[in-house]
């Protein structure tokens, strides 16, 4: 998805540090969004609000419709039905104003590998209409914020994958918008780079930015999000905090390692009687558990309970190649 820099550079000619909305405001309001590609219904009646100043995660497997929704909300494609507003501005009637209030970082780096990190950011600032001195000042601010100051003079082609992703995110923030879309930003990253980007997201949220994050990684949503919506086969099947979603599963689960190495996991209310019944049943079946552990529900359990499959399961998405 190579659209972050192009989109910003072409839409905002007089960049300013946008005023952040007040706590309690609605940053993004979505009502009844639908989208088809041919005979395939990619999104169906998608409806939810994103409060200002929060990290909101849209969770779903590959092909669930997450990127299609992002493309609609960033005005790259039109919905077939429904409406959406960004800080009160309707996408259908005020698309240019809506674009001034957002930035988008996709799954792949959209910076120029032949330029240095500093040159990339300064160039974007000048394309946005900044004077040369102001563009260089903003570039230095972002390089420091994203822990790239030591690599500022290096050509981006020499950056690691994690460094490129941080620079890509920095590039999309040159105009300091109040609403930031991150479409699966850690796809393909190693654990260390992913953790570093999580830190960046946390810092942005601490500055009062609203973050709209799509991800297929359950632990990412669990770690970062104030609110989570679960998208499955184009439909929102649940919304709430991570704790809310986990509570839908029920009580704890019991995990036993059997004498043949099999790992058995079953839901339980945690009572001694329920555990005794399970152990008696296993004994009658000829099994001797070697270890036993009680576990609280995870977001994986919640996703499975809500959708009937795991988050790693891909669904079919017939959106044209981007």
Residue 231 falls inside a structural domain: yes
Same domain, residue pair 233 and 280: no
Neighbouring CB atoms inside 10 A of 48's CB total: 16
pLDDT value for 6: 39
Residue 309 falls inside a structural domain: no
Domain termination site, one of 241, 276, 306: 241
Same domain, residue pair 36 and 166: yes
Is 60 exceeded by the pLDDT of residue 1?
A: no
CA distances 153 to 126, 149, 228, Å, are 18, 8, 39
Sheet strands side by side (includes 89-90): 40-51, 26-37, 81-86, 89-90
Closest to 248 measured CA to CA, from 301, 287, 310: 301
Same domain, residue pair 234 and 274: no
Give residue-wise pLDDT tens across range 188-217.
777 887 888 888 888 888 888 999 999 888
Same domain, residue pair 159 and 91: yes
Same domain, residue pair 57 and 81: yes
pLDDT value for 84: 97
Residue 310 falls inside a structural domain: no
Same domain, residue pair 81 and 123: yes
Residue 263 falls inside a structural domain: yes
| Residue 226: both structure tokens together | 């104030």
Q: Domain limits at 108?
A: 4-241
Same domain, residue pair 188 and 231: yes
Residue 78 · residue 117 · CB < 8 Å = no
Closest to 110 measured CA to CA, from 173, 194, 171, 175: 171
Same domain, residue pair 184 and 284: no
Question: Among 100-109, 120-129, 166-175, 222-231, where is mean pLDDT lowest?
Answer: 100-109
Residue 31 binned pLDDT confidence (cut-offs 50, 70, 90): very high
Same domain, residue pair 211 and 176: yes
Instruction: Give me the number of domains the chain comprises.
Output: 2
Give residue-wise pLDDT tens across range 98-153.
998 998 887 655 788 999 999 999 999 998 889 999 999 999 999 998 889 999 99
**What is the percent of the chain with per-residue pLDDT over 90, rounded to a whole number?**
45
Is 80 exceeded by the pLDDT of residue 186?
A: yes
Residue 303 falls inside a structural domain: no
How far apart are alpha carbons 41 and 111 in whole angstroms?
Answer: 33
pTM of the model: 0.77
Residue 317 falls inside a structural domain: no
Give residue-wise pLDDT tens across range 3-13.
444 344 334 44
Same domain, residue pair 218 and 279: no
Same domain, residue pair 91 and 123: yes
How far apart are alpha carbons 311 and 299 in whole angstroms?
Answer: 10
Half-sphere exposure of 148 (CA within 13 A, CB side): 35
- CATH at 124: 3.40.50.300
Residue 319 falls inside a structural domain: no
Same domain, residue pair 60 and 133: yes
**What is the percent of the chain with per-residue pLDDT over 70, rounded to a whole number?**
86
Residue 234 falls inside a structural domain: yes
Residues 275-302 as b or e (16 or more Cβ within 10 Å = b):
beebbeebeeeebebeeeeeeebbbbbb
Residue 15 · residue 166 · CB < 8 Å = no
């Amino acid at each position: 998805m190579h659209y972050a820099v192009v989109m910003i550079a072409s839409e905002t000619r007089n960049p300013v540090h946008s005023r952040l909305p007040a706590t309690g405001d609605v940053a993004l309001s979505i009502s009844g969004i639908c989208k088809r590609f041919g005979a395939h219904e990619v999104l169906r009646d998608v409806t939810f609000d994103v409060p200002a100043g929060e990290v909101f995660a849209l969770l779903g497997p590959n092909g669930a419709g997450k990127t299609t929704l992002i493309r609609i909300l960033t005005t790259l494609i039109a919905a077939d039905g429904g409406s959406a507003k960004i800080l009160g501005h309707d996408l259908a009637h005020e698309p240019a104003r809506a674009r001034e209030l957002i930035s988008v970082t996709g799954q792949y780096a959209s910076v120029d590998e032949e330029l240095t990190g500093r040159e990339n950011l300064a160039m974007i600032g000048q394309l946005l209409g900044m004077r040369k001195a102001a563009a260089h000042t903003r570039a230095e601010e972002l390089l420091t914020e994203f822990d790239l100051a030591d690599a500022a003079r290096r050509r981006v082609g020499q950056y690691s994958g994690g460094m490129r992703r941080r620079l890509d995110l920095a590039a999309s923030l040159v105009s300091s918008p109040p609403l930031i879309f991150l479409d699966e930003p850690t796809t393909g990253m190693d654990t260390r780079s992913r953790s570093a980007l999580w830190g960046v997201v946390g810092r942005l949220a601490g500055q009062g930015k609203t973050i709209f994050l799509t991800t297929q990684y359950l632990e990412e949503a669990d770690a970062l999000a104030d609110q989570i919506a679960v998208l499955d086969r184009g439909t929102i099947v649940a919304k709430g905090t991570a704790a809310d979603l986990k509570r839908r599963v029920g009580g704890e689960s019991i995990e036993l390692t059997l004498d043949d190495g099999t790992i058995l996991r079953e839901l339980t209310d945690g009572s001694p009687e329920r555990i005794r019944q399970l152990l008696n049943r296993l004994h009658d079946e000829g099994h001797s558990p070697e270890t036993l552990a009680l576990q609280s529900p995870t977001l994986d359990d919640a996703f499975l309970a809500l959708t009937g499959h795991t988050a790693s399961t891909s669904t079919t998405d017939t959106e044209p190649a981007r």
